[in-house]
Structure 1
Amino acid sequence: MANVLVWVEHDNAVVKDATLSAVTAASQLGDVTALVAGSGCDAAAAAAAQIAGVSKVLKADDASLANALAENVAPLVAGLMANYDAFVAPATTTGKNVAPRVAALLDVMQVSDILSVEGPKTFTRPIYAGNAIATVESTDAKLVITVRGTAFAKAAATGGSAAVEAVAGAGDSGLSTFQGSEIAKSERPELTSAKIIVSGGRALKDTDTFKQLIFPLADKLNAGVGASRAAVDAGYVPNDYQVGQTGKIVAPEVYIAVGISGAIQHLAGMKDSKTIIAINKDEDAPIFQVADIGLVGDLFQILPELNVKL
């Protein structure tokens, strides 16, 4: 059985949901060890130890790891890989920053954004913006893998009782420094974990219209708010609202696409949703090809009526 090292994404206190999907994928490869790298990360290590399927937790507590700078995390991981056959990270912004550096340090090819585990070194992954699924097999001695979170069930966050073992950090590489962060705060559910998402497109005309029509509907449904790239590029909402190939990949129970035509780039980020509801005045819009429920009509009439009835 292979030994697998899973990178835990956290904020030094709480483990992010994307890690749970990565653990599920890793458990299909072999025995799972979780790596918690941070500063003052005892709470995160304790939380990781409770994840079902994790047999051991390695805790690297060092000031240089406080903000998960990839230039500091990657050498730590590469050093630990002498005892592991595979390194698995969630395909999040941070995971996709760390994993390629680990692969380069190990001189192996990364297998990115996997959708399933087909064998010890065989996986499926999307290509052409998800329009085709490739089956790939690695011939490298060590595996470096990123996992698409929406493709795997989340491991139970409680029920495990793994031992926590301290390991030394690799120290500050001196290649980058953390200057600060601007984190958007919202009372609505975060996109990647929301069960319902309401997304708006360029048809909403401007920022005020987007807020007036999309936000009340999302609030009534306790939904996350998303947007197409066109809406983000037009400045209606910030970048962190973007759903799509170059945004966030989501798979909620219900995805409501309002005024979104359905470009391939957007479909790649949401077509795995359980139920897709599309509202668009163009009956030939590509979004209707993936929608479970389609409503052809003027969103400026439909959304106010919908808000009143809800």
Structure 2
Amino acid sequence: MSGWKKAKRYGENDIAFIIYTAFPFYLTRAKAVRLTWISRVTNYYFLSSVPDPSLPITVTNNTGEDYQSNTKKIFYGLELIYKAQLSIPASSRHKWYFLVGCDTYVNVPHLLKRLDAYDFQIPHFIGGSVGTQICFHRNGTTYKSLFVGGNTAHVYSAALVHAIYPHLFQYVNSIWPQPNHTSSGQSDVALSCLIFHLGFNMTIVPGFWRNTPDKTIQEFGLTEALSEKEPSSYHYVKPEQMIDLDEFYVYQYVDRLINDRNWNELKHFIRLFIGTHYKILRKNYRERLEIN
């Protein structure tokens, strides 16, 4: 309850939050994300191949809407987003790229504190879990490699995205297996293989959980699950639980600010929360008018 410390190095507007989704999830998982934690951030992108008036979709043409399409959807989306960044002044560009699925809850203030230790101008590939899978050479032969699990989020510094940007299209179309292959949908493996192939390493940090809070406790035990006081994200979160988690962490944040008598930050957050609430109400109202 006490001793809340705000992130010192970055603000939420330094991060591009990239959420990959699909048309069947627009009104469930994606909408829950949009109504909760993403409503309080500045830069966010929903990656999909189908446009929709209810979501600001970054359309990834020639991909698809099934699991096998995730890899091309993410590679094409990163390419589109970074290409647009190159047209604006360097001082205004995203410093970090945070990639998650639409069933992930993110505690943005906690995430920002995780990034305090890292310079966005240096290539960093950050995640929460490691596995082993198959990577592919250009000639189709394979090799085993570690990979950073996408179920705990992928975090890329701007310097890393700059380095992989020229290789995204060719890698996903010429080296990584196409949709009829069993490995084609493993987007986290594909990204890890490319990044490691280019000579960059990974950084694994705590607080990016690969499951929901209750299943995290079941998997690791209560003591270990609670050892991380400021978790950054949870995965496999259903829409109803997305709302529950957001409510819990909003109350926790407010309680901590009150306990520390941090009135300026409390005032800022209350105004932000009220402003985003009415912004969402207006969006929902306009969408109903369009539907009717």
Q: TM above 0.5, one fold?
A: no
TM-score range, shorter chain: 0.3 to 0.5
The structure where helix makes up a greater share of residues is 2
TM-score by length of 2: 0.33
Q: Which gives a bigger RCO, structure 1 or 2 (Cα 8 Å, sep 6+)?
A: 2
Greater strand fraction, Structure 1 or Structure 2: 1
**Greater Cα radius of gyration, structure 1 or 2:** 1
TM-score by length of structure 1 reads 0.32
